[in-house]
Structure 1
Amino acid sequence: MEGERFVMSTAEGPFPMETTYTWSDTASGGTRMTLRNQGEPTGFGQLAAPMMARAMRRANLKDLRTLKRLLENAAT
């Protein structure tokens, strides 16, 4: 269905990555968004991958909290 999935990818940075966002309705009438990052590090990226994964998770959570707050404030 249109508007339920958004995929972006990049070849820049330490390794190529694809990010997929999906949205679905919840039983309570809200919206659930999921986020998935995929990529294969090479070179230095392989060594730094565990630290980068943690940093990416923190950044994603921060961004999602901000997005949630903005959307909820816009709805009121």
Structure 2
Amino acid sequence: MPHRNRTDPHPRSPEANPKRSVTALDAFAAREGHARVPHDRIEDGYPLGVKVASIRGKYRRGTLPAERVSTLEEIPGWTWFPKS
């Protein structure tokens, strides 16, 4: 197994494969008409709800890269604060 340093994301973290999170979220939003993913939502074996919650947490803490913010904000129905 390759060695990861402490700054590398865990393979199952949302940052390990950000494109998968965006792709799954985009498909969810297109199908459901919104991007308020329930925390327990699994899409094709992918824990989308947990990943989206983690992404929103990073945004609130100011640790989400600007390019990810822009990408997510392009998804129709996306909101940073889904319960407001």
Query: Given the two structures, how large is their TM-score scaled by the length of structure 1?
Result: 0.27
Q: Larger C-alpha radius of gyration, 1 or 2? A: 1
Bigger RCO of structures 1 and 2 (CA < 8 A, at least 6 apart): 2
